[in-house]
Structure 1
Amino acid sequence: MLIGILQTGHAPDALRPAHGDYSDLFQQLLAGHGFDFVTFSVVDGEFPPGPEAADAWLITGSRHGAYEDHPWIPPLEALIHDIQGSGRPLVGICFGHQIIAQALGGRVEKFEGGWAVGRQLYEFGGEPRALNAWHQDQVTVKPEGARVVGTNPFCANAALAYGESIYTVQAHPEFGSAFIEGLIDKRGAGVVPDHLLSQARASLPLENDNQMLADEIAGFFKARVPA
């Protein structure tokens, strides 16, 4: 199965030598499931010819806002509609979660409650999940027909499902503790409040459920693409 990764941002320069770029993080996250990958750096204007260029699709995170005026945002929203129309499975993570919601009629804004960084607890179908987050923007109004499948008191629309073919998550299962530590050190100071960075640093040794969510994403793809 060929997974098309739509890369909407780049990892910080200081973190790439050790961790790779965002596309690399997702390939590492989904390793062992028999997938092949092709990456389109849409943030740099590189787009696939259409939904048929891959069996399933994944939209990465980004430091950009879905509501910002970038030339690659409108064609990405058009591609989201085309993928939805094709019936191919689509997963969105963080910015991917947000841009899919915006493209399909929801609203994305800077959340008045501020930032979520580091390990956060969510409820998925009544089960607790610990996942890393790094965001200020949120889906504040979900699109009509979208189902909330993950939530917590800070982020009401933490995971959404659209029909049977689209699944999106605000948190970052591709961010391990070492990557979060790098973000704290290289991207957080002066941007994220100090007390939140301190809390995130303190939670670095704690376990998370990244692999559980990775396995669910892999299962989501496999259940919707004929072998």
Structure 2
Amino acid sequence: MDNHRPHPLVIVKLGDTHARLRKRRGDFEHWIADGLDSQTLPLLVIDPRRGDTLPEPDAVSGVVITGSHAMVSHREPWSERTAEWLAQVVAHGTPVLGICYGHQLLAHALGGEAGDHPQGIEIGTVTVTLDEAAATDPLLQGLPAEFPAHVVHLQSALRLPEGAVRLAGNAHEPVRAFRVGTNAWGVQFHPEFDAETMRGYVDTLADDLKARGTDAAALRDRVAETPTAAALLGRFARIAEAHRHA
């Protein structure tokens, strides 16, 4: 029997949601923790922006990188430090899931490129279309070929790292999901968002969307629940739990 405390499943917090949403519903790390629902691994939230020390790769069971309202291409010092650490974590084989900003940062950390999406902001509930490679992917296998997911982003992973496998994409967003190696994934959507959170983002950004010529009310009406996307957090937790016992 293993009496040692297991290494934590780490949520690396790189951003905060809007203040109004945070007051009502909590923040990224709370939504992610709810979705992970790990029964065997302790959760640890680390915020490099405030100077938290990033743990050694062999001291964690898995890593989730949150979204952020910052931009990867701005190369903030805390972001670049996290990118250097991420490369070490991936090299060690520790399971990683990058969400939105985390997806883009993972691509950047491993030699790809993140930057502005040529068509500007994408927001609302969209359809994720899986590639053939997803059929044998440990995180995505068995999911429907298409499923809804929530998005809000200005930047994208414009170029994947060498050797990365694209797992999902479509005409608007060529890389919705990718994997590097056997245990590191990025997703350009938010599995931690529910429909109320997504509507909150549309409402908060309504004036900006209007200025860009986007009908926020129509976007809001199309927001739907996304149970398949949400299930990815629990799937990732199972991968981290299995890695801990490997």
Alignment of 1:6-155 (within 5 A): 6-31=12-37, 33-125=39-131, 127-155=145-173
1:17 deviation in Å? 2.0
Counterpart of 1:21 in structure 2: which amino acid? D
- Say which SS state the counterpart of residue 58 (structure 2) adopts: helix
Is 1:224 the equivalent of 2:231? no
- Say which SS state the counterpart of residue 100 (structure 1) adopts: helix
TM-score w.r.t. structure 2 length?
Answer: 0.85
TM-score w.r.t. structure 1 length?
Answer: 0.91
- Once residues 218 and 160 of structure 2 are traced to their aligned partners in structure 1, the CA distance between those partners, rounded to angstroms, is 29
- Once residues 38 and 62 of structure 1 are traced to their aligned partners in structure 2, the CA distance between those partners, rounded to angstroms, is 18
Counterpart of 1:218 in structure 2: which amino acid? A
1:55 deviation in Å? 1.2
Aligned to 1:174: 192
- Say which SS state the counterpart of residue 214 (structure 2) adopts: helix
- Once residues 205 and 191 of structure 1 are traced to their aligned partners in structure 2, the CA distance between those partners, rounded to angstroms, is 19
Q: Deviations over 1:115-174 (max 9, x none)?
A: 211111011245112100001101111111000011121111110100101011010010
**Bigger shift: residues 101-110 or 206-215:** 206-215
- Structure 2 unmatched runs, 5+: 1-5, 133-144
- Say which SS state the counterpart of residue 9 (structure 1) adopts: coil
Cα RMSD, aligned residues only: 2.0
- Once residues 245 and 38 of structure 2 are traced to their aligned partners in structure 1, the CA distance between those partners, rounded to angstroms, is 19
1:218 deviation in Å? 2.5
- Once residues 80 and 32 of structure 1 are traced to their aligned partners in structure 2, the CA distance between those partners, rounded to angstroms, is 22
- Once residues 194 and 221 of structure 1 are traced to their aligned partners in structure 2, the CA distance between those partners, rounded to angstroms, is 43
- Structure 1 unmatched runs, 5+: none
- Once residues 88 and 112 of structure 2 are traced to their aligned partners in structure 1, the CA distance between those partners, rounded to angstroms, is 17
1:207 deviation in Å? 4.9
Is 1:186 the equivalent of 2:192? no
Contact 1:165–1:224 (CA under 8 A) maintained in structure 2: no
Contact 2:61–2:243 (CA under 8 A) maintained in structure 1: no
Contact 1:132–1:208 (CA under 8 A) maintained in structure 2: no
Aligned to 1:213: 232
Counterpart of 1:69 in structure 2: which amino acid? R
**Bigger shift: residues 200-209 or 92-101:** 200-209
- Once residues 23 and 75 of structure 1 are traced to their aligned partners in structure 2, the CA distance between those partners, rounded to angstroms, is 20
Counterpart of 1:171 in structure 2: which amino acid? F
Number of matched residues? 227
Distance 1:156 1:18, change over 3 A: same
| Larger Cα-atom Rg | 2
List structure 1 segments (4+ residues) > 6 angstroms apart after TM superposition.
none
Distance 1:78 1:16, change over 3 A: same
- Say which SS state the counterpart of residue 81 (structure 1) adopts: helix
